[in-house]
Amino acid sequence: MAAQPAERAGVRSASEPAIDSRSRVLLVDDSPENLISLEAALEGLGAELVCAGSGMEALRHLLDQDFAAIILDVKMPDMDGFQTAEMIRSRKRSRHIPILFLTGYKSDEHLFRGYDLGAVDFLFKPVVPEILRSKVNVFVKLSLNTELLRQQTETLSKAEQKFRSLLEAAPDAMIIGAEDGRISLVNSQAERLFGFRREELTGENIQTLLPEWKGLQASAGSHKEVRAIRKDRSCFPAEISLSPLNTEEGLLVTSAIRDITERKKIDEAIRELNARLEERVTERTRELREANEALRQSNDDLSQFAYAASHDLQEPLRMVALYGQLFQKRYAEKLDEEAGRSLGFMITGAQRMEMLLRDLLAYSQTGSDQDPAGPVDCQKILSKVALNLQAAIEQNKANVTWGRLPEVRAHEIRIVQLFQNLVGNAIKYRSEEAPTIRVSAEKQETNWLFCVEDNGIGIKPEYSQQVFGIFKRLHGHSYPGTGIGLAICQRIVERYGGRIWVEPATPQGSKFCFTMPRAAGERLPPAVNRTPAAVGV
Ligand code: ADP
C-alpha cells in the first residue's frame, strides 16, 4: 500500500498519535548502498534510524536501546538475517520487537523459516520505498501507542495507589460501594472496626454492617447516629456520614464510619453528673431555704421579744421617772443635799433608760414591715427629713442640700428613718464650723450609690466598722444618744439588699455611703433648672 503524501512529508492528522522522534528503527544490511537507500526511503517518517552493517552490530545496538521495528537483510556474511533474528528472539529485551525481513528470493522455505522466527512481514528486493515506508510506519505507530498505553496504565496505577493511601490515612472506617450498598473498597480501619477481612467485605452489602444505611442516603453529607453490627454479631453505636459521587460507572457512595461508644459513655456520664448536680443544688437550696426560714423565725421571735420587753418595760419605767420627779418636787426641802443628788441621778437614769427602750423598740421593728415595698421618691423623702429636723437645722445654722435623687423600691417610713438618722447625726456631730451637709446619688452598674457628707468632727478610720454596732458610741459623754441610730441604718440598708459604710470626708468630716439595688433602665430624674434644695441656711 502506497504511503499517503501527508505522511511522506511528516504531516499527520490530529487524531493520530505523534510519531516520537525517539521511536527508533534498526536497519540491518551488510551493503552500505542498501542502508543508504533504506535511510532515504524512511527519512520522512520522523523516526530515528539506526544502521547496522552486520548481525553482530545489530545485536550490540539491541543491548542498550529499544526499537519500534527492525528491518533485517536475510543474506549477510558471517551471521545471516535468520541467525540474527534467532539471537534477537532469544533475548528478553528484544523478544517482542517486530522484524521485517529483506530478501531477494521469494522462496517458500525462506518465508516459513522467517515466520517461524517471528517475522511480521517480508519485503522483497528491489524495495519499493512507498511500501517500505508504509509498513514501517505501522510499526512505529504501534510502538508509540503501546508506549502511550504503558504510560497511561502507570499514571492510573499511581493515582489508584494514591487514592488507596488516602483511604488508609483516613481516621475513620471508610467503605466505598454502589448505590444499592454493594461494597467495592474498604480501608483497614473498616476491617478492624467490623472484624471482617477486606476480601470478606468486598461484594457484600453494607447493610449487613449498618442495617439503617439505605435510609441515610437522603441525608448525605450530615452526620447521623446509627447501630452498627460486627462480624461476631455484637452491636455498637456509630456515627456515619455519606458522600455520594457520580462516576461513569454509576453512583459511588463513600461511607465514613466512627465508633462512638466512648463518646456516648462520656455523654451519659456527663448527663448523670448533671442530674446529680441538679439534685444536689435542689437539695442544698431546700436546706438553705429551711435554714433561712428558721433564721427568719428566730429573728422574728427575737424582734418580738425585744418589742415586748421594751414596750412592757416602758410603762413601769415612766412610773419610776414620774414618781421620782413628784417625790423630788414635794420633798425637796426635806431631803438633805446627798439624798437630793441621788434622787436626781435616779430620775436622769430612768429617763435615759426610757430613751434607750424607745430606740430599741424602733430597732426591733425595722425589717418587720409586712406590706410590699413600693417606689419611694428620695427627693421627696429629703424634703420631709429636712422638715422633721427643722429645729436642729435652724439651731445649728446647718446647710443641708441635695442634688438629683432617684426612686428606690422600699418602704417610705424606712427611707425617712435612714436619711433622718444620717442627716441628724451629721448635724449632731458638728465641728466648730456651721454644719454643711450634702446628700447625693450616682448610678452604678446594678446599684444606686447614695452619700451623706458632712464637715463635722469625723470618725477615725479604725472605728468605721464599730459605729454600726448596737449601743456603740464614740463620743458618748459629750453628745446625747443611745448608739442605736447607725445600727438601725445598717439594718434598713441590708434589708433591701444594699451595703453601708463610712469613710473620711475631705477636708474634714464624715461621708456615709450606702447602696440600694437599681432596676435595669432606672435613671436619675431629669435635672431641673434650679439650685438644689437648701434648708435652714
Ligand atoms: P448615737 O448618735 O445615738 O450615739 P449612732 O448609732 O447614730 O448613735 O452613732 C454611733 C456613733 O457613731 C455615735 O455615737 C458617734 O460617735 C458616731 N457618729 C455617728 N455619726 C457621726 C457623724 N456624722 N460624725 C461623727 N461621728 C458620728
Ligand 1: atom nearest CA of 421 is 7
3-state SS string over 122-145? EEECCCCHHHHHHHHHHHHHHHHH
d(CA 354, CA 310): 9
Given a contact cutoff of 8 angstroms between Cβ atoms, the answer to whether 435 and 427 are in contact is yes
Ligand 1: atom nearest CA of 426 is 23
Given a contact cutoff of 8 angstroms between Cβ atoms, the answer to whether 311 and 365 are in contact is no
d(CA 533, CA 52): 127
Instruction: Give Dmax (Cα) for the chain.
Output: 184
Rg (CA), the chain: 58
- Let me know the angle formed at the C-alpha of 160 by 159 and 165, rounded to the nearest 5 degrees: 100
d(CA 77, CA 27): 16
Ligand 1: atom nearest CA of 473 is 14
pLDDT tens for each residue of 392-446: 999 999 999 999 999 999 999 999 999 999 999 999 999 999 999 999 999 999 9
Residue numbers of the chain with a pLDDT score lower than 50: 1-21, 529-537
Q: Ligand 1 center to residue 114 CA distance, Å?
A: 135
Which residue CA neighbors atom 12 of ligand 1 most closely?
467
Of 429, 462, 471, 489, best ligand 1 pocket probe by most atoms within 8 Å of the beta carbon: 429
What is the phi/psi pair of residue 159, to 5°? -60, -40
Number of residues written out for the chain: 537
- Give the pTM: 0.50
Chain centroid offset of residue 459 CA: 53
Q: Ligand 1 center to residue 474 CA distance, Å?
A: 7
Ligand 1 site, CB within 6 A = 421, 425-426, 429, 454, 456-459, 467, 472-475, 481-487, 510
d(CA 258, CA 270): 21
Given a contact cutoff of 8 angstroms between Cβ atoms, the answer to whether 483 and 409 are in contact is no
What does the block give as the cell for 467?
Answer: 459605729
| End-to-end Cα, the chain, rounded Å | 135
Task: Report pLDDT for 11.
Answer: 36
Q: Which residues contact 281 (CB under 8 A, 6 or more apart)?
A: none
Of 396, 486, 511, best ligand 1 pocket probe by most atoms within 8 Å of the beta carbon: 486
Q: What is the residue whose three cell numbers read 456631730?
A: 429
Sign of CA dihedral 173, 177, 180, 181: negative
